[in-house]
Amino acid sequence: MSLLVYKQRFQNPNYKSTASKNYAHVRYIATRPRVAKNEGMNHGLFGCLKPGTSLTEFQDWKDVARLVYQNSRRHVTMYRSVVSFGEDTAKELLLTDKKAWERYIENHIRTIAEKNGIRREHFQWAAALHREKSHPHLHVVFWDDSDEKAKIKNPFTHPSVPNNIRRQMIKDTFAGRIRAYGEEKTKAAADLRKISDSLVDDFERHIRLLGNKRYQKLREEYDLNAELAEDFDFSDHTLNETADRVFRLKSALPTKGRIAYQLLSEELKKQVDALTAYLLSNVPELKKLRTDYVESKMKMVHLYGGSEEYLSSQRKRFEAEADKIIANRILGMVKTLNRLDDEDRAAEYREGRKKYYVEQMVLEMLDMLSSLVDTNCRQYDDFEKAWQGELSKEARKELYLKYQDKGYEH
């Protein structure tokens, strides 16, 4: 394991699924559990979209995700990278809070741009800090916004590029330690004003030997490549079938007035339920988040306990709740399409745009469920702390009842 880990990859911009994958990756890095959130916000995304300006904590991660999505549709390569340190190294570098990490990447982001051959005036990026205990790390998404880059049909990054970035960042981050190590080793300080690549490599080997067991454990616990691959794919068949069902549903619903699941006729509810079931069967990530949502609610129930019959009824209740969240996002898309009709913009969702709107609908479902799971987990943590205190059984029950109905408002 290197003293500093730098990984970089990208989804092929020529694939149809790349836009939705890149959107999902931004959502993931901005909102996943243990992300260091911006003050007063529900996400942790920051970066710079206007070269020459200072770092910004973005108000809404979706604005960045939409830009990434649009760029992907133009076949602009969206690079994903991770910068990671071991826990002790991060402490040594005083990377103890979000602001410190922001300063760190702002000081080193130019290295990433230069080694990838991106001119400063065309370099845009967004990042988020994930506070994993043994391996705090930054996710950085970056791209070249020049028109020329949109014309590249077969992008390729030589393996030497991320390796050179890692090496340069080690030089810049640990310059003092490397010089001290070299002086001790060679007793020739005058020759060490410029840090050579070979000295950096030698220093890394030295560090590995000092902490081999610790780094071995880190390797077993953490796979950076898996972090970079955190996304999901929507097949064309799934998107087309979903689009057809949404538009059939749209034609059967009124164009004016409130559209809500509980107000639908039984026949229309069956159509919405069938589409919900179809999405759960064909979008594994959605099915997983539905399960996560139910389990995050059940954790609270298990703390208080109850009969098997009661626990089973609660599980069914939360499953229905999750399905209703998905159903209302479907109806939300119908409302969006009706609004476009009102604005005389129906052409925007003709054949070429149908899949775009369906992708957005599914991604919003994922975003909402992910956010609710995070909220449920925080409530559980708060409840568990209170539970461990000196509360009477009746007080615990009251606290549970207070929390159990919090969450998604239908």
Q: Distance between CA atoms of 382 and 376, rounded to whole angstroms?
A: 10
- Tell me, what's the pLDDT at 409? 41
Q: Distance between CA atoms of 225 and 229, rounded to whole angstroms?
A: 6
Residue-range domain boundaries for the chain: 4-228, 236-404
Within 13 Å and on the Cβ side, how many CA atoms surround 236?
4
The encoded tokens of residue 37 equal 């959130």
Residue ranges of the alpha helices (H) in 44-138? 61-73, 87-92, 98-115
Q: Convert 179-192 to b/e letters by CB count within 10 Å (16 or more is b).
A: bebbeeeeeeeeeb
Residues of the chain with pLDDT under 50: 1, 187-194, 210, 212-223, 348-349, 407-410
Q: What is the DSSP letter of 35?
A: B
- Tell me, what's the pLDDT at 214? 43
With respect to CATH, is domain 4-228 assigned 3.30.930? Answer: yes
CA torsion angle for 42, 45, 48, 54 (degrees, to 10)? 70
- Tell me, what's the pLDDT at 393? 62
The encoded tokens of residue 70 equal 């649009």
Q: Distance between CA atoms of 273 and 336, rounded to whole angstroms?
A: 20
Residue among 313, 296, 303 at smallest CA distance from 399 = 303
